[in-house]
Amino acid sequence: MKGRAILYSAEELTWLEANHLLPIGDYHAAFVRAFERSDVKAGHLHALRKRQGWRTGRTGRFETGREPMNKGQPCPEGKGGRHPNARATQFRKGQRSGVAVRLYKPIGTERLSKEGYLERKIHDGLPLQSRWRGVHLLRWEEINGPVPKGHALKCLDGDRLNTDPSNWCCLPRAVLARLNGGRHKTRLAYDQAAPEVRPTILAMAQLQHGVQAARERIAEEAR
C-alpha cells in the first residue's frame, strides 16, 4: 500500500523550484533547515522534481571534457606509490588467468596458418601478430639473413609445408605478381603449371621484371 501524499505549501513549492538545481543531498538538507520539514525525505524531493519537470541538467554520466573531482590529488601512498586496493587487483607481469591460461601456447609451438604455412611461436611479447612466424622464413633466414625490403619467399615445389630453405626462392614482389598468371589470367600461373614447366615460367617472370626495371631506369636517367 502506498504511503500518504506529501503536501507542500505555496511558499515551499516556490523555494523548491528556485533551488531545484542543487544536488539532491544539499537540496534536501537546505529544505529541511528552511522549513523544518522532518517528514520529508530526499526521495520525496527527488520524485517531486521529476513530477514537476524541474530538470537539473545532470545525466548521471561523466560527460566528455569534464574534469574529475580528484584531478591533481595524489593517490594514497602504498608500496610502489599505488593504493593497496589497486595493487590487489592489478595484473602482474607474466600473469595469466581465465581463458588466457587455457589458450596459451609456449614458445616453440608450431601451428598451421589459414594460408597453409607452418608457423612457429617465437616470443610472448607485443605486438601479438609478431609472436608467430613462418618456419620456412626462419629456416631460410638462418642461412641467408633477413629477407630484403620489397621481397618475399616463393615456394618452388608448391608444398608450403616443405620448409627446406632450398625449396624457397627470394623474389621481388613484382615478380610474384607475374607468377600469378597476369591480371586477367592470360598466362599460365606458376602454381598451376606442371613441375617441369615451372622453372621456365620463373625464369621468364624474372627476365620480364628485369627488362621493365631497366626501361624505368633509362627513362628516369633521361629526364
Closest CA to 156 of 209, 210, 212, 203: 203
Vertex 27, ends 23 and 32: CA angle to 5°?
Answer: 155
Instruction: State the average pLDDT over residues 188-210.
Output: 95
- Position 93 pLDDT exceeds 70: no
Q: Give dist(CA 61, CA 59) in Å, integer.
A: 5
Where does the pLDDT of residue 167 fall: very low under 50, low under 70, confident under 90, or very high at 90 and above? very high
Instruction: State the average pLDDT over residues 204-218.
Output: 94
Determine the angle formed by the axes of helices 10-18 and 24-35, rounding to 10 degrees: 150
**Overall size of the chain counted in residues:** 223
What pLDDT score was predicted for residue 89? 65
Residue type, 56: T
Q: pLDDT tens across 69-84, in order?
A: 777 777 666 555 566 6
What pLDDT score was predicted for residue 184? 65
CA torsion 13-17-18-20 (nearest 10°) is 130
Partners of 168 in the β-ladder:
155
Instruction: State the average pLDDT over residues 99-107.
Output: 90
- Position 100 pLDDT exceeds 90: no
Instruction: State the average pLDDT over residues 174-197.
Output: 87
